[in-house]
Amino acid sequence: MEFSSSHWGNLNGRDLLIYTVTTESGLEVTFSNLGAAMVSMRLLNNHNEPINLAYGLLRPNDYLKANYYPGVIVGRYANRIEGAKFYIEGQEYQLTANEGNNILHGGTEGFSHKVWDSVLFEEHNGVCLLEFHLKSPDGDEGFPGNVEVWVIYQITDDNQISISYRATTDKPTHINLTTHGYFNLGGFKGDVLDHMLKIDANKYLPVNSELIPTGELRDVDGSPFDFRKFKAIGADLDLVGEVYDHCFALNNPTIENASVVLYNPKTHIGLSIYTTQPGIQLYTPINKPNVENPLIKLPEKGNWAVCMEPQHFPNSPNTPHFPSTLLLPGEEYDHTTIFTISIGGVAR
């Protein structure tokens, strides 16, 4: 395993850094302390050619301009909260509305737009550790409590990327963290409609016109949301609309069994996701990014990536029967997600 760091720029007097890790199996991953982001993911294929598997940007300023959160850690609350408000013990907290009347991915300047402290970058016995830390003050984007967050990446020589999240607070607050990667296992040479996808979920969350869950947990059986067996992403997309942008309630989310498997039958590259989070958001964007990366040319048309975001359910603070996202003083938010990259096949 090889690992190194380099200077990437400055933001508000803070140094921005790029961290590069290359495994013995041919996976190169780069990270930054801006948004604790996974900036790029490249894999050598059977012809020893690098394939871009994740979409990232060239310059730090691009990340500040981008409205689609490429590869960053989003918080305090990933996804949407209706009306940009919630109540805790009868007290209303008004948050920063940044998508109509709602709040998306933590507000105008969520965790994705902050410079994190780099705590650790070292390698032991074929495992590279990279730890970031962030302090979010009481009232940040309207959220109560002084919150401390740690994100720890672990990269192994067999092409596993583990992301561990920890958080504490001094006041009751809601928290929901995830990573927002845009994946295309064909190197962004074409759309992702031929990618085969399997999601271990019997139920999904229907949404209203503002993409806020209605509160129902609906059976996937007989619907275009049934991915319990491998199915091409484009197989039933016309029954949904142009894109999937829905949360699935995972059946038994653990780091022992994959909750999601994505596979490209052309490149024979697979991506398996293990998580302790109760849900995963599936998003298949069709609109082109407002900030482009000249190093990665996107296909002329079609759904150019798959986002699979392990997280708690959207709008949980206002939906009592959803798994709670309330974090209390003395407790610790603690979740883990593992991405495994394979070439040549996946477990079916």
Catalytic residues: 180, 309
Dist CA 271 CA 280 (whole Å): 15
- What would the two tokens of residue 177 be? 């963290």
Alpha helices in the chain (DSSP H): 60-65
Give Rg (Cα) of the chain: 19
**Cα dihedral 288, 165, 134, 32 in deg (nearest 10):** -50
Counting beta carbons within 10 angstroms of the beta carbon of residue 74, is it exposed (0 to 12), middle (13 to 18) or buried (19 or more)? buried
- What's the gap between Cα 133 and its chain centre? 18
Q: What angle do CA 249, 250, 254 make, to 5 degrees?
A: 145
Dist CA 293 CA 154 (whole Å): 26
Which has the closest alpha carbon to 56: 301, 338, 294, 281? 294
Dist CA 95 CA 140 (whole Å): 9
